[in-house]
Structure 1
């Protein structure tokens, strides 16, 4: 099957410039007035909407580092300083990573809205499918924004002019969620379970994201209904792969466990000036072992390092070795341990590395291979669907069904079934999410939405840290119109 090739459209569709990585047509050849005249124009524009999902590395970093799962790591405490601030719950309105979250997702929304503005220019057979795909992606971008920042400006089906910036208010998050649900419903109603091109959004992906969105709003009965339909209908053939230990290898990507996966390619380079411009996934290189010399793994930047707390949490669960590389223990098991070496960054060291998203020697992309990993990001995999379904069923009193979905995940892991009920069953589901999904960027959000963040995260302040601060630069651009989130 073909893979969607991810590339940037002309700078007029973006809020930032990455011209150094663009193969641009001659200047002034094409603009908004002579675009959207052919089906190929719409196809190109939709690929541009997909493109900003390449910012997923931020969500892996922040979702783990803000939690009890990881520390920031890196060369020093000034190496990606914003992550160190988030690690210590010291972050404020001046934070490069948080500003990137906001501007990249709004850039994606602007691209989607540009297409929606021109939806009715022409008709062609694939148009409804394309519009359904970007309905999903716009919902995804808004879901990220509302998770991070709460109330945000809601702009749909049009681009906002520069003159409007100082007139647009933050929209209550309830209205944003309502729009997210409408966009996902459009996607669900139009899209097919399978697609000819690997990486395109499908009906199952839209259902999974809608169930997640409902869960985050505590709409448990509605979430249970969506997950039930997804699991029981399942015309895409989703399932749990039998060998979880090899699931994170590039060769085993786009399999039955991949429900919503963001594609990456190692065939195009770039540099550190614009990570979102890359086709490759920068997270594995950033997670890799600093100055590593040895077999199997590649050298990298030692970011997002798992904590001793997480390592101990696993106990004897076999998923520990799948999730966490205990580097010294691994070296000791090699036939030539004396010939293996690595360096420790001054940004922190735990001895552990993220073994799901890590650079492996046989999976390198083009130089600089810290930035060009072909390892995809699994935004929602089927194990996550089953655990979200278990949670929704448990929250609505259907303990029997909750145990069924929960124990599917545990049986694949080779650990005993859960037999609890009531409040204890819900705790067991939360615990299972950490065992199954650590290293994937979900942990902070799980702690926040279940009210457990303060007890798990050192320095977490209730009433403040459930949301991240609005970037001060954006508040200034809005003429100070937006009130900062509480506590910042």
Structure 2
């Protein structure tokens, strides 16, 4: 099987740093449509360019954890990726490099998908419908990210937006964006195959899982239960829980039955610190590594996104997921045969004694130099355990506690934990707690707290009515002539 790798395209479908407007992301006159989309290969190159824009997944991992009670920003100092420290402290505002990157990355992906749709009728060929279905799913994914971060956003479909239109394009209500997301996903489900021969290509199962998540985030619990329950009951993709959770996040165990929707990475050279979105590798992994580490198994990194004591203490002592999720560095060193020879440094950006143990730099999984930036460890956007827990929540919230317990306890059984027999709100809270234990370190925690109304209780400094959304980058408001209003509280 062949894996999809990153392509650098010269056609105008999204050079991220090419211009100042997030909506007009491409350099003019690089290569016009008259000279492209004339062959099936052109369309194949274009769709790989859309896949490419899912690779800056490190932003979702970092922000989804650091904005929550799961992690602190870490790093060399508080000025090392200062935007993450502001998000950690809930002091972030409209000037924040990480939040601007989120907006620009996702709109670049949308622009690339829209460019394909704009030219979809130029030629016909076998397989075009599949390419369009992939583009629909990824466009839905990009818009889902934008709605979660920023709420109302300009909705542009099937065409590029000229620079002259930017200042007159209003923010679209998020309900309308959700309607488009659902429409794109339902259309994609009808075309995408259940299984693929080319590793990394999207499947109908991935689209169904994302649709279930989109419905759950809108509190459409009955619809979410139908979609997710149907995915579980009619499991054409052959999904299942990987038997050994403790080794699930090793490179050797990726693209397994638990992987539903995965972003692929390789250990090849790509960008550099000046262009993290240009990378072939998973940037989060090196950044999560132990600073100046010298010892067995792990490799040195930048000590970002450090788990909190609160997260560590949330696990039962006999839960195998705790140590597989969180590296207690001092306990690990003490357990080695030569602890006195193992050293590491503490960064000035904060230290908890813990490191992310899912997406972390390991000595036998290094990519090409600079190996901080070239990890081949894939990012699991949605894995089967997440599907089961989302289904459990959807069933419980729509009145089917029995089915909710069934799906919840599948996840607990894999972890070696006793089954849950609760009902009603106690069951609901058990499901939410299980999501934290099972999925911590994967970038979901902040969104789970916000959508379930528990963020103000769990997150220090969280202001209700403000921090449910992140601020629109001020530079983007300025670029559209101030026609966009800022989100409340900012």
Choose from 443, 446, 449 the match for 1:444.
Answer: 446
- C-alpha contact (below 8 Å) 2:33/2:119 kept by paired residues: no
Deviation at 1:29, TM superposition (A): 8.9
Partner SS state of residue 14, structure 1: coil
**Structure 1 residues 9-408: aligned runs within 5 Å:** 9-10=9-10, 12-17=12-17, 30-316=31-317, 317-408=319-410
Distance in 2, Cα, partners of 1:427 & 1:46: 41
In the aligned structure 2, how far is the partner of 1:18 from the partner of 1:254?
A: 34
**Alpha-carbon deviation of 1:372?**
0.2
Between the aligned partners of 1:487 and 1:122, the Cα distance in structure 2 is: 49
Q: Which moved more, 1:332-341 or 1:314-323?
A: 314-323
Q: After the TM superposition, which parts of structure 1 deviate over 4 Å for at least 4 consecutive aligned residues?
A: 27-30
In the alignment, is residue 456 of structure 1 matched against residue 433 of structure 2?
no
Specify whether residues 11 and 468 from structure 1 end up closer, same or farther in structure 2 by C-alpha distance, changes over 3 A only.
Answer: farther
Find the aligned partners of 2:34 and 2:351 in 1 and give their Cα distance.
Answer: 54
Q: Distance in 2 between matches of 1:32 and 1:177?
A: 30
Q: Could you tell me whether the CA contact under 8 Å between 1:269 and 1:368 is conserved in 2?
A: no
For residues 487 and 243 of structure 1, the distance between their equivalents in structure 2, rounded to whole angstroms, comes to 45
User: Retained in 2: the 8 A contact 1:15–1:103?
Assistant: no
Alignment partners' CA distance in 1, 2:208 and 2:233: 12
Task: Give me the whole-angstrom Cα distance separating, in 2, the residues matched to 1:16 and 1:39.
Answer: 25
Tell me, in whole angstroms, the C-alpha distance in 2 between the residues paired with 1:374 and 1:15: 23
Distance 1:171-1:334 versus aligned 2 partners, 3 A rule: same
Question: Displacement of 1:248 after TM fit?
Answer: 0.4
* Cα deviation digits, residues 255-289 of structure 1 (max 9, x gap): 00000000000022431001111010010100000
Normalised TM-score (structure 2): 0.97
Q: Give the Cα separation in 1 of the matches to 2:337 and 2:33.
A: 61
Secondary structure in structure 1 of the residue aligned to 2:164: helix
Do 1:270 and 1:368's aligned partners in 2 also have CA atoms closer than 8 Å? no
* Structure 2: tracts of 5 or more residues without a match: 20-27
Task: Give CA-to-partner distance per residue, 1:155-187, whole Å, 9 cap, x none.
Answer: 000000000010000000000000000000111
Q: 1:86, 1:208 → 2: CA distance? A: 29
Q: How many residues are paired up?
A: 481
CA distance in 2, matches of 1:275, 1:389: 34
Cα pair 2:388 2:408 within 8 Å, conserved: yes
Offset from partner CA, 1:75-133 (integer Å, 9 cap, x none): 00000000000000000000000000000100010010000000111111100000000
Kept in 2: contact 1:240–1:383 (CA 8 A): yes
Partner of 1:24: none
Deviation at 1:14, TM superposition (A): 1.4
Aligned-residue CA RMSD in angstroms?
Answer: 1.3
